[in-house]
Amino acid sequence: MTEITDFIIVGAGVYGAATAWHLARRGATVTVIDEKYIASRASGGPGRRGVRANGRDRRELTLMQRAYSVWPSLHECLGTKPFYDRCGHLLLAESETETRGLKARAWMQQMQGIETHFLRGDEAREREPYLSTKVKAALYCPHDGVANHSATTKAYADAAKKLGATFLISTQIEGLEVNNSRAQSVVTADGTRYAANRGIVILANSGVLPIIKPWQSLPVWDECLQILISAPLEQVPFKHLTGHVGRTVSLKTHGDNRVMISGGWHGIWDPITNTGRAENRAIQGNLEEALAVYPALKGLSVEISDANHLETFTPDNIPIIDQLAPFDNIWYATGWCGHGWAIAPVVSEDLATWIMDGECPKDLSPFRLSRFKDPFR
């Protein structure tokens, strides 16, 4: 059996759902295929995700500047309840060396148009009175915030469906059918062919490389990262999204007097079952780092520990977004490095523009695979 559509998107995370919406808005027919369900991979799971410019790679800051204008009203565009909170972000330093690095980063972010304030330790504690006295300095970006990643992804998917997009969940992809320089179809495990009249877009993050490896290798790898959600506290001792240049920790408020603690601690991934779990050593290490930043969290108990969502990384810590050579109608994106979430609204729009109009938008050009051999990118 063969189904026919304009575009097939592989992956129903935030990038797959958002790109489907943008393509459907431009009149294209779209089929999104996912081996599990909507927001099942890195776009799913508990907690909230940071929407931040603070601490990002310079090449992403133009996209983040644009994203600032999209996030506050995105829920209205998608016809759903608010899922974004502009709470501001503090990036902390404890040593003199870290402090000098913050000053240099403040200059760079300001040059890129990102409102960034350098704060002395006492000024940071005026914003967060429970902040550790060991903190010597902080960068404050008032336009940064947090968003519910699962709710946002599902809102994009629902909006795309209203415009006619089809989502096929629990559908395993067997491979691609190609002819010379054109992709023709996606074949699923049950033998169904989904013909793509105009193109195929592979946005499954950790699932991208296995699909394209017959034609292209990529410098990417997967990591299983841990997220902790606390039991309710009597009082949450902070309000800002908080990170640290020298510690492996990120803190967010989570609602209902809970906090989310993450930042890069690893869980254990089982490649046989494709599931992950948090380990006690990493849980304890993450909690110790959180307590070093906000000592008032002492006594916090963990209600949820999750390590069930792979993230994909690149050597230079920014994503790869490109066409798959030698084909003129296959696009892919992967390697979001755990922070691609914040720029999803504008990257997905630019990717849809590239797909529909045939030219790579300027803001996406730094993320093409050729940067690894072009010293000027």
The string of DSSP letters for 15-81 reads HHHHHHHHHHHTT--EEEE-SS-TT-STT-SSS-EEE--TT--GGGHHHHHHHHHHGGGHHHHHTS-
Q: What is the CATH number of the domain that holds 136?
A: 3.30.9.10
Indicate the average pLDDT of the chain. 95
Q: Which of 322, 333, 7 is nearest to 186 (CA)?
A: 7
What is the reported pLDDT for 306? Answer: 94
374 has a pLDDT exceeding 80:
no
Q: Are both 112 and 234 inside the same structural domain? A: yes
pTM over 0.85: yes
In which residue are the tokens 């803001």 written? 363
What is the reported pLDDT for 376? Answer: 56
What is the reported pLDDT for 41? Answer: 82
What is the reported pLDDT for 44? Answer: 86
What is the reported pLDDT for 316? Answer: 96
Q: Are both 303 and 158 inside the same structural domain? A: no
Q: How does residue 3 score in pLDDT terms, banded at 50, 70 and 90? A: confident
197 has a pLDDT exceeding 70:
yes
pLDDT in tens, 89-129: 999 999 999 999 999 999 999 999 999 999 999 999 999 99
Contact indicator for 76, 355 with CB cutoff of 8 Å? no
Q: What is the CATH number of the domain that holds 198?
A: 3.50.50.60
> Which of 261, 286, 308 marks a domain boundary?
308
Tokens of 343: 């720029």
What is the reported pLDDT for 45? Answer: 86
Q: How does residue 180 score in pLDDT terms, banded at 50, 70 and 90? A: confident
> Which of 273, 292, 308 marks a domain boundary?
308
Q: How does residue 130 score in pLDDT terms, banded at 50, 70 and 90? A: very high
What's the average model confidence in pLDDT over 298-316? 95
Q: Are both 208 and 239 inside the same structural domain? A: no
What's the average model confidence in pLDDT over 246-261? 96
What is the reported pLDDT for 95? Answer: 97
What is the gyration radius of the CA atoms in the chain, in angstroms? Answer: 21
pLDDT in tens, 76-96: 999 999 999 999 999 999 999
Q: Please report whether residue 52 resides in a domain.
A: no
> Which of 308, 338, 353 marks a domain boundary?
308
Other C-beta atoms closer than 10 Å to the C-beta of 107 total: 12
Q: Please report whether residue 358 resides in a domain.
A: yes
pLDDT in tens, 40-63: 888 888 889 999 999 999 999 999
164 has a pLDDT exceeding 60:
yes
What is the reported pLDDT for 377? Answer: 53
What's the average model confidence in pLDDT over 206-210? 95
H/E element, 156: helix 149-162
Q: Which residue segment(s) compose the domain that 258 sits in?
A: 89-142+226-308
1 has a pLDDT exceeding 80:
no
What's the average model confidence in pLDDT over 248-272? 95
Q: Are both 287 and 174 inside the same structural domain? A: no
375 has a pLDDT exceeding 80:
no
Other C-beta atoms closer than 10 Å to the C-beta of 83 total: 20
319 has a pLDDT exceeding 90:
yes
Q: Are both 32 and 93 inside the same structural domain? A: no
70 has a pLDDT exceeding 70:
yes
Q: How many domains does the chain have?
A: 2
In terms of C-beta density within 10 A (0-12 exposed, 13-18 middle, 19 or more buried), how is residue 96 classed? exposed
